[in-house]
Structure 1
Amino acid sequence: MKLHTLKPAEGSVKSNKRLGRGQGSGGSTAGRGHKGAQSRSGNSKKVGFEGGQMPLQRRVPKFGFKNNNKEYFKAVNLDVLETLSAKTNGSAISIQFLVENGIVGKNDKIKVLGRGELKAKVAVEAHAFSTSATQAIEKVGGTATIVK
């Protein structure tokens, strides 16, 4: 057996019907049946139409509210900063550094929260800080810098 001798099994490959190409191609209706909207060109149902049954988007109630002006922050806790401080060798933990280490995305706004314990003296940059996080960072001699 060689690659150029391979063929599909006998009868397993059929060519498609060329519909709507005259009488020799399977009749006048081209596989669409007789009359009715589905037999005509330009027919299409509305998106979500369920054959007259009440569609899902109308059965399920509307709820909720999305405030377009709200700022959403990605939370980074002190215990995460503690593990990262070993990599920085005592230098600052910037937003760029957090992005490079996969903690946050490049478009995320970052808020440092106070869970965990920080032992290393680090300068931290973020868009926001909780009061407990700021106190913990300054307690060990670090700085908390807010970036706009």
Structure 2
Amino acid sequence: MKINWGTSIVIAFVLFASFILYFVLTVQSSSKYDNELVVEEYYKHDAKFGDEMVRIQNAENLKLKPVITDISDAISIEFPNTFIPKDIKGKVSLYRPSNKKLDFEIPISLSSSTLLIPKKSLVGGRWDINMEWQYDGKLYLTKEVIYIK
């Protein structure tokens, strides 16, 4: 049987479409390929973006800012000595962009000016740190990206 060029083009197109359909179905149904959003309620989060920018600007306007550093066995968040540690309230959120299941939050409760987050709970790689805190009735937001080895 002889196949003309028109039939071979149709066969090639059907094979290509079958491959694409197989690939899309495999990626959508397999748990190995994660396609989650970073934030669950994206649009609600986006609507509050103006408030977030005000809190970031409040943090930028501080003369002495909190310092987030990567030390040997922990992540250190050090507030300036001008702040009264017990009056600082808020939370530190650690986001792992590659895996939502590793995200967690730590409340800010200080007796000294330093908050330590042990590295034993952190997997190596990129971590986004969002520190939402309040001092003297004013809201602040500090964002930092660190890489754990």
Normalising by structure 2, what TM-score?
Answer: 0.24
> Which structure is richer in relative contact order (CA contacts within 8 A, separation 6 or more)?
2
Normalising by structure 1, what TM-score?
Answer: 0.24
More strand by share: 2
Asked which structure has the greater CA Rg, the reply is: 1
